[in-house]
Amino acid sequence: MPYRRLPNTDLARLRALRIAYEKGKELPPFKLAFSQATYQKVLSNLHLFEKTVQESRQAFYKQVEKSKEYARMLKKVKLYMSHFIQVTNMAIARGDLSAADRDYFGFGRDQSRVPSFGTEAEVIKWGEKIIEGETLRINKGLTPVTNPTMAVVKVRYENFIESYKFQKILQKNLQRSQTKLIEQRKLVDTIITSVWNEVEESYKDLPDEIRRSQTKVYGLVYFFRKSELPHLPK
């Protein structure tokens, strides 16, 4: 016997709800194969589910779109911060700056290695240290680091921070929309199950082929098991 398969994607769920909605509009209650109480649930949730699915997709595509821009800004700020530290270290090696200048940036005086910028948290931490340290050096009248200057590094850093905060907002929006969608899926699945159960109940006394033919009009989906598929001649 073929078995019934409930929708397992949002598009399939929407299709099932729309078919039930259209049948409810098309037929009078006494001809409809499912109850008016269930039809009211379809009416109440179809457009809400459509809106939630659309909002979740928009939130997802918005984050994907902005993630590319964010990745570019993250890569750029890492590059400028790394170059700033490398230039500082080269100036110290030449004797143009003192090893004590590293104190302003939170480095050890013998530390000539560029810190790890592997995570966003590390970029934020070292970005703040570098900006604060160079600002303090300049205010004390010490020779500024150039190529890149702190002004340029600061612009890159502030652009990154702005993009970082916006990315976090987009992530929260996506998470919120997905949580809402998951909750509505459960309700929609219950409604579709009710529709399909009632439709099958309405046609339960018909022969199998006719019953399946009638229920398919209401969007019910049946699948044959592999062993039940007709065998074609070799």
> pLDDT tens string for the chain (234 positions)?
677 889 999 999 999 999 999 999 999 999 999 999 999 999 999 999 999 999 999 999 999 999 999 999 999 999 999 999 999 999 999 999 999 999 999 998 998 889 889 899 999 999 999 999 999 999 999 999 999 999 999 999 999 999 999 999 999 999 999 999 999 999 999 999 999 999 999 999 999 999 999 999 999 998 877 665 555 444
- Each residue of 44-81: b (16+ CB within 10 Å) or e? ebbeebeebbebbeebeeebeeeeeebeebbeebbebb
- Sequence-ordered list of residues with C-beta below 8 angstroms from that of 3, at least 6 positions apart, any chain: 222, 223, 225
pTM: 0.77
Domain-wise residue ranges, the chain: 3-224
Dist. CA 132–CA 172, nearest whole Å:
30
